[in-house]
Chains A and B, each alone.
Chain A
Amino acid sequence: MATAEEEEDGGGGGGCCLRPFSCEQGLLSRPDGSAAFIQGDTSVLAGLYGPGEVKGSKELPDQAALEVLLRPKVGLPAVTPRLGRGGGAQREQLIRRTCEAVLLGALHPRTAVTLVLQVLSDIGSLLSCCLNAACLGLLDAGLPLASLFCGVTCALRPDGRLLLDPTARQEQEARAVLTFAIDSADGKVLAATAKGSCSAEELQQCLAAAQRAAATIFRFYRDSLRRKYSKW
């Protein structure tokens, strides 16, 4: 299956593909907002509580304190080597900073917002899937946001060709894997992280491709929300 996919992705001659996307919102009854996001076979479940009561030490006087927990499927969070090739805690930080950038936390000072992301399966592009799940979770909870954001992962193959939304195998073979968080207001970059080496030109190429892909993902967000509110 993976090889067929590979050929399909790579053979397009400059044309890149995003794997099939699906999402479900509000699937958990307890959290204030929840969403499952599935990219190909990679899936992440997000559950969000807040704005709610905050513990004394975490309280911020001017805005809501956002906490992000990324839970791996096997082993303990933040220390597991499988998820944490870049460190689970580091990914948590990246997601938190990205969410903080769009969340209008000043509207809810002295409160806590807890976002829990549970990895359901990791077959490549996990971080971008986490970001997408986080955004849909925030949307489902109805928290005020300055804009939306989405995550896009690009892989650079050894021959220099660019791949969007790579599978785990493609990520392994790739020379560099770059993940961007892009906001919906004017396609600006909220976060970027890279593994492997690439030139400045390749970085710009990946970024340009990610921005194109982001447009597709935002259309997907819009369509899924339109469907959700179609009976209101």
Chain B
Amino acid sequence: MKETPLSNCERRFLLRAVQERKRLDGRQCYDYRNVRISFGADYGCCIVELGKTRVLGQVSCELVPPKPNRATEGILFFNLELSPMAAPAFEPGRQSELLVKLNRLIERCLRNSKCIDTESLCVVAGEKVWQIRVDLHLLNHDGNIIDAASIAGIVALCHFRRPDVSVQGEEVTVYTPEERDPVPLSIHHMPVCVSFAFFQQGTYLLVDPSEREERVMDGLLVIAMNKHREICTIQSSGGIMLLKDQVLRCSKITAVKVAEITELIQKALENDQKVRKEGGKFGFAESIPNQKITAFKMERAAVDTKDVEEQAEEIITKADPPSEVFTKPILHTRGTAQIGEGIENAWGDLEESEREEAAEEEGETDATAFECQKMEMEDTSIMNETEKDEPIVLSDSEEEEVVILEPQDTPKKTRTQTNLKQENTSKKTFNKKRKKKRATH
């Protein structure tokens, strides 16, 4: 689906509001939206909500051989995905320009800032290192994806625990969580991105732009910083010229915001750890607010399955018995095999009224059938000379009628129009027998 275009009215309205230093959601220019962090049941899984923007983060690890030029360093891999759930314009599996830009920024923010100690991820130098994979999924796009993704990335990395390993000589043992407690990654610092939107060639500035504001902005400045006021990444895009003091002002604002966010992250992590230690409930189920009327919870529900067996038995006895199993394939000629005889063609069966007419015509058909038989006999006699032992199948091209001739039997069994009726009756008696059987069952 295409993105809904922004009308000129809307655009003008938004710009006008920015000029009057007002924002649609009631924030001040320098206000950040609320950040909410919730953790999943497994380690390294979190959802970060920045206002209505939502990002899911999941960290996983794997033992791999290291890169040849960095034999003692673990590998960090980041992957941000714009799920089609987040906005109708996002297509699955397409590398859009926005996606490439965001991925690059995340890498610069979290990998190139050396916030993760990659050397501690080495197990055997040159042979085995941990590869840490960070998957970030955008679930809802309401502006400022990069900030939400960078928070989700660092929170997931802090929350993650990798399995403990021990090396004895050449042997590497990976312990399960039951054997040894998994160990956290060593993290030096926590870089967090803060975005600034500029309007009218940098005259107006907004912190943490929403989706609507992003669509009318002229330029964007992203600063990644840690709580020690060290800038990890800075990127200006959109092609606006910024003055020196504008950048300095932004970095000052960033320092304040990053301090707040870092504190929140640490509090959230501590909370989760405490709950896990005490053996309380954790996971996404706990993060759903109770008071909301759109949310609902149900306790463990017992389902009565006592008489399930009787019910199942009843159904099976009522059901039609399975059709007969032909264990032995029927062999008509060498090289062919057939399972079952198939079902009789009902088209040949005549209705009550037609039967009388058929009886009248019988005389004629008898004669032709006889002739037909005769011809077949001649045919087979020739065939008999060539192959004595083999049963022969002849098929009439005009009618789908199979003639089976078994040369060993002296009265030749042929299934032609004439003895079709007899067969019918024998089939019927057989069916009756089956019905009787079922009744007694």
Contact = CB atoms under 8 A, between A and B. Distances in A.
A224 B304 contact: no
Given A21-B298, A28-B140, A200-B316, A227 B293 contact: yes
Interface string A28-72: 111100101010110101010110110000000000000001010
B439 interface: no
B387 interface: no
21 contacts: A15-B303, A17-B303, A18-B300, A18-B303, A19-B300, A21-B298, A24-B288, A24-B296, A28-B140, A36-B284, A38-B283, A38-B284, A38-B285, A47-B83, A69-B84, A73-B137, A116-B83, A120-B40, A204-B311, A204-B316, A209-B308
A79 B292 CA distance: 37
Interface in B266-304: 279, 283-285, 288, 292-304
B308 A45 contact: no
Contact of B300 (A20, A114, A200, A213): A20
B60 A231 contact: no
A16 B305 contact: yes
Contacts of B86: 30, 47
B248 interface: no
B259 interface: no
A91 to B, nearest CB: 15
A201 B313 contact: yes
Contact of B284 (A120, A205, A209, A216): A120
B304 A212 contact: yes
B296 A22 contact: yes
A191 to B, nearest CB: 19
Interface stretch (B50-58, B225-233, B416-424): B50-58
B1 interface: yes
Interface residues of A, number: 66
Given A120-B40, A201-B313, A209 B303 contact: yes
Given A112-B1, A205-B309, A212-B305, 18 more contacts: A14-B306, A22-B297, A23-B295, A24-B294, A30-B142, A36-B288, A74-B60, A75-B135, A77-B93, A114-B1, A120-B40, A121-B284, A201-B316, A212-B303, A220-B298, A224-B295, A227-B296, A228-B294
Contacts of A116: 83-85
A200 to B, nearest CB: 6
Contacts of A112: 1
A186 interface: no
B113 to A, nearest CB: 24
A59 to B, nearest CB: 13
B382 to A, nearest CB: 51
Nearest to A216: B301
B139 to A, nearest CB: 6
How many B residues are at the interface, by size bracket?
A: 35 or more
A164 interface: yes
B58 A23 contact: no
B56 to A, nearest CB: 7
Nearest to A50: B1
B264 to A, nearest CB: 21
Contacts of A22: 285, 288, 295-298
B311 A27 contact: no
Interface in B7-43: 40-42
Interface string B212-235: 000000000000000000000000
Contacts of A36: 284, 288
B315 A204 contact: yes
A27 B313 CA distance: 44
B288 A38 contact: yes
Contacts of A27: 294
Interface string A119-146: 0110100000000000000000000000
Contact of B1 (A49, A76, A212, A224): A49
Contacts of B137: 71, 73, 118
